[in-house]
Each structure stands twice: as structure tokens, then as C-alpha cells.
Structure 1
Amino acid sequence: MRSVLVDAPTTGLVLAVLGDSVGVGIGDPVLGGGWRGFAPLLAEALGGARLTNLAVSGSRIGGVLEKQLPAALALRPDVAVLLVGMNDTMRSDFDPERLLADLDHVVGTLVAAGTTVITAKYHDHHRVFRLPGPLRRALASRIAALNDLLDTVAREHRVGIVDLGQVPGIYTQAAWAVDRLHPSELGHRLLARAIAAQLGTFGTTVHKEVSLVCAGGRTPGRLARWGWLVFKGVPWLCRRGGDLVPYALAALLRRA
């Protein structure tokens, strides 16, 4: 759990972030080490909100329900941002009914506690990260199902939802980190701005617009990009492919 009081006149607003590696800020490295991400930028836009980042890299929806939700409720947050689900789409045990029940419980519990909740549905993944055709179609099907669940929960509980695929500039190369899985500094800034806009429509005062001017981060060089591809990208594809390949083959057989 990481608590941060943004260096700005505080409004007394309590902001909690729940979810996976995007919530952690991966993709937006800072000069001193570690990650920044959208969360501090959003807290600053909200006038110096007291931020607690509960997100954990690799988290799935069930993990948010079991571990992050109780911690969030203890904070009594005014605003909660929930970004989770992509890790579920890449696993062999993907179960829309269970995920819907878990998402509904997380969001419903936060809303019942008086929290303004913002979540997000996901972009067209293959426009950022290229995959072989069968894997691309399998993942696209899973993401579409996840987005339907997120839309359903947002409507049911009348919470805000950011459509990442509709965020201006999200499909530019500059918006993505070297791994093409996480937003870059610019991508996190775009995300923070989009979340702030959603909060504004739900009555939360946004004190200033999130700047899209990138400054203060570390930019990976060509060697770092090749290093990621060889040592992380290919192994990741093999691991996730092992989960998605059986599903992709089953889908091909159904169409045959």
C-alpha cells in the first residue's frame, strides 16, 4: 500500500487506486527508480487528493475482491479508480459469469460506501501489440467479453467508465511503453486526463487539467527495447500463448 500526499493545496479528498500493473504505474519510469503512472497526476488534478495506491502488478479481478477491496474500504475513499481485467483475459480459467459476480461485488460495495467509482474498458489490443492471427482473435474475443462485463457493472451501479479505445492519441506509438502492454508516460497522462474528465461529469471538482507535456521520466534506448523483446517479450508471449492457444484452437474448430 503506497500513500502519497501530492505536493499541492490539499482538498481533503481521499483517492484510492485498485487494480493491476497499469494502476501501479508500470510503463512510466521515474529518474530515481520506480514508477509514477496516472495516479499521482490524477491526485494533483483533484487539488492534492490524498492518494493510496493499492494496485499490485499481475492482479486479477478475484485478487482485487479478496485483498484490495477490504483495504480500500478501510480508507473510506471519496474516489476510487478500478483498472483490472486484462490479466484475466489471458488465463485459461477465464469465466465471464464469475468475473461479472466479482466485479459487481467490488463496484457495488464501493458505491454502497459512498465512493465515486471510475473504471475502464479496454482498447483494441492488437493495434498496439501484434500477435499471430489465432491468438489475436482469441484475445480480442476475451477482451470484448470483458468490456461487456464492465459496461454491465457500470450501468448497474451508475459509475463512470473510460473507454480506452476512444481516448484521443491512445493508439500512437508514443502512448505506449517499450513492452506495448503498458502506457508510457504520455499514455498515463492521457489516462489521468480521461479519468479526471469522467470524475467531472460525476460531480467531483477537477482543479486543473492534466498536462500532456512529458517531463522527468526515463526514456528507454534502442538497446533496452531489444533487451525487453529478447528477455521479457518472447517469454511472456510463450507463457500467455500457452493459456490462449487451447482457446484459439477450440474457436477454430467451432468455425470449421
Structure 2
Amino acid sequence: MRPRRFVALGDSLTEGVGDPVGDGWRGWAALLADGLAATPDEGAAPGPDGGIGRVVVFTNLAVSGAQTPDVLERQLPAALALSPDVVSVIIGVNDTLRCTFDIRAVAARLDTVYAACADLGAVLLTACLPDPGGTLGLPGALARPLARRQQAVNAVVHALSDRHGAVHLHASEGAWITDRAMWSADRLHPGERGHRQLAVRFHALLARESVATGPAPSPEPEFPAPTRSASLWWLATAGTGWVARRCTDLLPQLLTLAADELRHRARGTSARLDLRASAAVSAALTALTATERADVA
């Protein structure tokens, strides 16, 4: 029996940051992988390769700091070369943390990546995510522009997931977002319990599609949670550097966006900013539809 191949694309979330095992990271995708294998029936005869049940070969191509161009240009070709049966594509948060953020470009890249996976016949996994400003606990004037960007990415992911028949996880909502026990010290990445929550929820969706035929991942942590002192030490050293590297080029623009947010709030016209963001999403999706029609013609 041919092994089932599961390939994960994305950024630090899928790389597993926040769920340390040994000297590296594990994460939700690795936790999910075992559940994609068939549980052998008791007394079943070995297959041609001498094994019983179906083996899952898991490859994690996700890289910390990745944005949609990285997935499209680097990770996707490597994934397609592996002829995967299941592909997860969860990306976009780092795009929102850049001064170059462009929802139309993000939508075009995601559409290309999703289409390539779907055309291969692979089961495509996608997810919408909470906004980083909210999880970081930033003040409203700073958090709201980031929330608007993440909501735009989520709206695009929702629409394109539907278009390409993806198995989509609504991870941008729910009690898990405000449960501090689900998050690591940096407040941007899930801890082990949070990664397990994502794996459990994806497994439930895939079980309904008869894709996940193995046991569901346990929601309970395997390792004790880091002590408060260990978490603070990590945040003061590696964690602070991680955040700084991803937000440095955004900071001047974010301050400008925050000032604009405060001006609109004072005038009572904040709804205009929401409408502007919604219009940008609509324009991005309309552009994809127009391009698709032109290609068909």
C-alpha cells in the first residue's frame, strides 16, 4: 500500500514554534500526521510491504517568518514534487506585519497555491487565524489596523477555500483564543496545548471526510508547561528578537495607521476604515474572477 503523503506549508505556526520537543519544534501538523494513518484491524494480514495499515510520510516545509511569496515561490514547488495526498497551507500573518501588505497580491498568490494543490488531487487544508494585535494585547489604536488586515486575509482565505474545495478550519474565533493556557510566552504562537487544539480540530474535520482514519491527537499536553521564569527568559531573549525582526519595517507605518485610527474615532467615522478594507477584499476577489474569465476566453 502506497504511503499517504502529508506536506505542510506555511510559517512559524506550522513549523511548530511554541511546541518545543528536544532541540526543535513539533507543532500541530506533526501531531495531526499520525491521525491520518489507518488503524490496522486486529488480526489483519500484512500488506505487500509486510506492514499492516497505512503509513503516513510527513514533510514539514514551513519556515518561520515566511510570507505568501515564500510559499508560492519556494515551498509550493517542493511540495508538488512530493506528490502529496494532503497539503496544509496556512500563511498570511507575516504579510500583515509588513509595510508592503497588499491584500490583492496576497489573494492572487493564495489562489495560485490553492489551485496547484487542488489540481494535483490533494486534500487541501486551510485556516483563518486570530489577528496578532489582539493576541499580543496591543492598545486599540495599534491593534485595530492589524485586526483589519488579518480580517481581510481571513475573508480571502474563506472565499478561496470554498472555491478550491478546501477543508477549512475556523481558528480565528472561539474560546481558545482568550485562554492564556493555549498560548506560548510570546502570545503570538500557541503553546503545546494550543497546537494540540488545532490538531484535534483539524482531525475532526478530516474524519468527517474519511481522510483521518487513525486516532485523534490527544488534547492534553505531553510535557509540563514552561515555568513563568523560563517563559519570561525566552521572551526577553529569543522571543523579543523574533517579534522585532518581523515588525521593524511595519512600525513607522503602524504608528501612522494608529494616528489615522484615532482621528477617525474622534470624528465618529471609524466605519469608513472598515468599509475601505471590505472594498479592498472585494476588489481583490473580483480581480481573480476577471483573470480566470480572461484565461478561459
Fold conserved (TM > 0.5)?
yes
Query: 1: CA distance between counterparts of 2:257 and 2:177?
Result: 28
Q: Name the counterpart of 2:32.
A: 42
Residue matched to 2:15 = 24
Partner of 1:246: 256
Question: How far is the alpha carbon of 1:90 from its aligned partner?
Answer: 0.9
Aligned counterpart in structure 1 of residue 103 of structure 2, from 96, 100, 111? 96
Deviation string, structure 1 residues 26-84 (Cα, Å, up to 9, x no partner): 10011x21111112211111124110100000000111000000000001100001111
- 8 Å CA contact 1:14–1:49 kept in 2: the answer is yes
| Distance in 2 between residues matched to 1:139 and 1:26, nearest whole Å | 21
In 1, are the aligned partners of 2:131 and 2:146 still within 8 Å (CA)?
no
1:195: which partner in 2? 202
Q: CA deviation at 1:142?
A: 0.6
Give yes or no for the alignment of 1:164 onto 2:171. Answer: yes
Structure 1 residue identity aligned to 2:256? P
**Offset of residue 203 of structure 1:** 3.6
| Cα distance per residue 1:194-220 (max 9 Å; x no partner) | 1122223334133111101211x4643
Return the TM-score normalized by structure 2. 0.76
State the TM-score, normalized to the length of structure 1: 0.87
Higher CA-based Rg: 2
Structure 1 position 56 matched with structure 2 position 63: yes
1:127–1:91 CA distance, 2 compared to 1 (3 A):
closer
**Residue 181 of structure 1 aligns to which amino acid in structure 2?**
L
Matched, 1:225 2:231: yes
Q: Does 1:141 align with 2:145?
A: no
Conserved 8 A contact 1:29-1:218: no
Structure 1 pair 136–66 and aligned structure 2 pair: CA distance change class (3 A) = same
Unaligned runs of 5+ in 1: 1-9
**How far is 1:127 from its partner?**
4.8
1:3 maps to what in 2? none
Distance 1:23 1:155, change over 3 A: same
Cα distance, 1:123 vs structure 2? 2.1
Taking the aligned partners of 1:206 and 1:168, their CA distance within structure 2 comes to 27
SS in 2 for 1:81: strand
Q: Secondary structure at the match of 1:128?
A: helix
Whether the 8 Å CA contact 2:93–2:132 is kept in 1: the answer is no
Aligned residues of 2:131 and 2:151 also touching (Cα < 8 A): no
Q: Which runs of 5+ in 2 are unaligned?
A: 38-54, 268-297
Matches of residues 178-193 of structure 1 in structure 2 within 5 Å? Answer: 178-193=185-200
